[in-house]
Amino acid sequence: MDRIRLGNEEFEGRNNAYVLADGDDLALVDTGIATPGVREDLRDGLAERGDAFADVDAIVLTHFHVDHAGLAGEIQAESDATVYVHEADAPLVEGDADAAAAVERRRRELLEEWGVPEDVRTELLEFLEAASHIEGEPADVTPIADGDVLEVGGRRLEAVHAPGHAAGLCCFELDGGREAVVGDALLPVYTPNVGGADVRVDRPLKRYLQTLERLAERDYDRVWPGHRDPIEDPTARAREIVDHHRERAGNVVDVLDEHGPADAWTVSEHLFGDLEGIHILHGPGEAFAHLDHLRHEGAVSLEDGTYRLVTERVSPREIV
């Protein structure tokens, strides 16, 4: 398996596309964002192998986010490649108007519920509209589910559903062995956003913690993430991210303890300070994911969008 490093000025961290090949059988895992620079990066990376978009037989997407799926439709148009993605994300990759409208409605509802000021909401929506050109062309999709096995590029890929960051995020275990391509389920430098990255996910932090536990239990020797370099001890990294969320839960409790009842936006201001661009969505989304988890665990209550501590103090280790 070869890695093609892709630029990414729109979101944090360089993306990776992975090439699987056996003779004329050529597959890509993820494609990068639909911008001219990334398109050139991917074409050049394939050309170094003597390949082109037209030679791609299969595209396997870890999830629907545009920095992973943006070029799938364009490559498919040139090559007639089969595009695989989890069934939860398939409508969005296909460009289904109803699915996209439902996401937009839910996003607007949550921004209001989280207490994001109207002018800041407007700033975010204008940012998202201005960035709509990076979404790329829709693709005809073959939906997959947890446990499905794909035979592509001379390799055997088993889908391991890993929701939290996205509803349909999948890791792909290679050849039934000790390595996997993991998209944004595990990242080597920063932690994947939960709560804002995919507003369709119910109980986002709980789902992501379950994903981290599942990946830790599989105890891979190495995994290949959607951004930056391979992770050589993925079990330790999964545990480290759990610890990060345990610390973050403690920080959320501290905010409520020190400043009193608050909505998700106010908590995010205390945690992250001023936010701009996509972080206007990701910041309160992350705060909400933790507040929501604390609420379901009985540590905080929610009334009219305001969260308050139920007990004087709570140990994050008891709930995360």
CB distance 54 to 78 below 8 Å: yes
What is the structure's pLDDT at 133? Answer: 81
What is the structure's pLDDT at 312? Answer: 61
What is the structure's pLDDT at 92? Answer: 98
CB distance 306 to 236 below 8 Å: no
Strands 58-60 and 82-86: parallel
Axis-axis angle for helices 118-130, 97-113 (nearest 10)? 150
| Paired tokens of 77 | 């148009």
Residue with tokens 């592509």: 152
What is the structure's pLDDT at 20? Answer: 98
What is the structure's pLDDT at 10? Answer: 59
| Paired tokens of 183 | 């998209």
- Cα–Cα distance, 282 to 104 (Å, whole number): 15
Cβ-in-10-Å burial (0-12, 13-18, 19+) of 109 comes to exposed
Nearest to 197, CA basis, from 225, 164, 156: 164
Residue with tokens 């559903």: 161
Residues of the chain with pLDDT under 50: none
CB distance 174 to 155 below 8 Å: yes
What is the structure's pLDDT at 4? Answer: 97
